Amino acid sequence: MADLVRFGVSLDKELLEKFDRHIKGKKYPTRSKAIADLMRKEFVKHKWRTGKEIAGAIVFIYNHHKRNVVDKIIDIQHDFGNIVISTQHVHLSHDECLEIIVVKGKPKQVESLADSISSIKGVEHCTVAFTSTNRM
Ligand code: NI
């Protein structure tokens, strides 16, 4: 186990109570673990913007009956062929499709692909999940 350090933090009482309720809901065993995870999340977020390479998934929903939406999604993925690793398509219902694009590349390129997808008329709920690779 890594060396542990104890340190004191002054916080607004209400904020801490809210935080404790929040982490209890997330089933964190200790406050320390929750704070450490928050710090790591912050570092990953920073790498997302400044790192050389990130890996992640762009997840979105669309109605495939909407005019040209499928063609546009495919065209854009071909434009970003250098960072798209794979795509998974799920037929959610009669109208709705869920698509997951797995990507690896420069943060700016991944962000640009996600922006291009989410700006298509007919695409809803486009989210990006990402992590950093070891090549930072
Ligand atoms: Ni479908």
* 121 CA to centre of ligand 1 in angstroms: 16
pTM: 0.70
Number of H helices, E strands in the chain: 4, 4
Which of 113, 59, 49 shows the shortest CA–CA distance to 83? 113
* 105 CA to centre of ligand 1 in angstroms: 26
Tokens describing residue 127:
């989210």
3-state secondary structure of 27: coil
Cα(67)–Cα(104) distance, rounded to whole angstroms? 29
pLDDT computed for residue 1 by the predictor: 58
Domain residue limits, the chain? 13-50, 54-132
* 75 CA to centre of ligand 1 in angstroms: 16
E strand or H helix at 100: strand 96-105
| pLDDT per residue as tens, the chain (136 positions) | 578 899 999 999 999 999 999 999 999 999 999 999 899 888 877 777 777 888 999 999 999 998 899 999 999 999 999 999 999 999 999 999 999 999 999 988 999 999 999 999 899 889 998 877 665 4
Four-way CATH pick for 54-132: 1.10.1060.10, 3.40.640.10, 3.30.70.330, 3.30.70.1150: 3.30.70.1150
